[in-house]
Structure 1
Amino acid sequence: MEQPTKLGQAGKALVIVVVVALVAYPLLGVIGTSLASQSDIITSNGLVLWPDHPNLDAYRTVFTGGVVTRALLVSLGVTLVGTLASLLCTIGMAYGLSRREVVGSRFILMTALFTMLFHAGVIPNFLLVKELGLYDTFAALVLPTMVSAFNLVVMRAFFMNLPEELYDAAKVDGAGDFRILVRIVLPLSKAVIAVVGLFYAVAYWNAYFNALLYLGDNDKWPLPMVLRTFVLQGQSLADGSVGEATSPQQAVQMAVLVVAVVPILLVYPFLQRFFTKGVLTGAVKG
């Protein structure tokens, strides 16, 4: 490969700086506004990058009322349980579909791919969830989206890239499919499992549409629903004590947004080193 020129390196550095600035500016604005006082918000026309009078009143307001705290716990539970269930189902299906000797594997794979192109629609899904007795339950936030066809294809491709000799050697030693999966395939697939797990976790954490459709009890709302209702629609979080808060409304809205974003920001750095390897290896067959 040719060595990059100084002009090329400067261009890449400029692009990186611009991208970082585009990402960091709104993030700093949200954090700064959540810490700002009313006078800081008025002076800065609503967007505070560096508050002159920083305080945590908005966060005290958010966590005092109980609405955000309850929604945060719901989102954590749904994300943890949903990600674990989705990984178990996806790993099992991907391993089965990666073995050519499995009868009907191609038909099942085509059926899964079909769901990427065609969707039943909101009304049939709602009727199905209601008929199964899942309406207004936390299971409705997990079961309808438990397996993603895209993640299934990525993981299947990764499993198919593993050397066939490993499977043959394990079978010669008397290992069954379950033991091969647990003792050989999974230890070699940490990268793709981490990436697919991150995809599932982000999807469950950010999902609000299923909650909007399938949950009638506000006490079961996950954090994205509270975020949508309070920040985007401007409705009050108050269930008593929150309505009497003295912190600025805009600061409270930004504090809710920070609470919703921070957990994923904390998880991502630990999985970043697996991201490129897992996606590229699982997406390329050869």
Structure 2
Amino acid sequence: MSERFLASALPQHEAAELYRPMVVGLREVAVFLMDPLGYITVWNRGAQDMKGYTADEAIGSHLSLLYTEQDRERGWPQHNLGCAAKNGFYSEETWRKRKDGGLFWAHIAITALRGDDEQLLGFSKITMDLTRHRLLEQCEKEKQEIDLILRAAQAGTWKWHVDSGQVEISRQLLELLGHDGQARELDFEACLEFVHPDDRARFRTLLEDARRDPCTAPIETELRFLRQDGACQWFFLRANWHRGIENGPMQFLGACVGIDNLKLAEEEKQRLLSQLRQERARFSDILEQMPSGIVLADVPSAG
């Protein structure tokens, strides 16, 4: 006796009649049946909505109709059916093709249907459209990669919503300034408090000029931000206009890259140059004060 995976108190033919309209009318999941060779015999409404083919178009067609050209060339439809026939079940997540040529990320499950004598009667196939979940996963992966890049570059971002006056400060930028926690959204004036008082007026002018005349963007400047411990830190800042969503309001998006080490090296270079100039000036004064008959010459080595 074959193993029973689905229990029912009803006779088999009555249960089948009850399940048939449920499967046919199911809209969220594509469900269809195939004969032992992989030709479609039953096509539900969910399959029509998801894949774009009507029942008249799908029934009688081979399973390969629903695969991309690349998958057909490598014999993937036959491979999947063969795995299901051999193991009883086959599942994967991959890109599938709609009638209009568009792709969607599908979770598919093919089950081999066998009679009591274990003869292969055909296959059932269930498909769920997980495109949205896939895109969310990709977005999360991209966010993680961006986070690694920003950390490696000692950089952070901020976004000025000009229409509301709110400024979003990224977690990475806050961490560079010694703050813990997630990204923050502050009003314009509160955001300026992060800028060193000596650079604040200049930075305000750059932002207000960009708001009055967008053609002044992008803006590029070097300025100091205040850390949580009160110390200041140099950043190179670049910002430009950006539209977050189609037909949405414009936002001013900026990136800040830490250049403290470069500024320290530049200051050290200027200090050494200043010291060298002072030494040259002192040496020049000494020469001017020497008697005119003194001659400087190399002393020959003994030998």
TM-score with structure 2 setting the length: 0.20
TM-score with structure 1 setting the length: 0.21
Question: Which of 1 and 2 has greater Rg?
Answer: 2
Higher relative contact order by CA 8 Å / sep ≥ 6: 1 or 2? 1
Higher strand proportion, which one?
2
Higher helix proportion, which one?
1
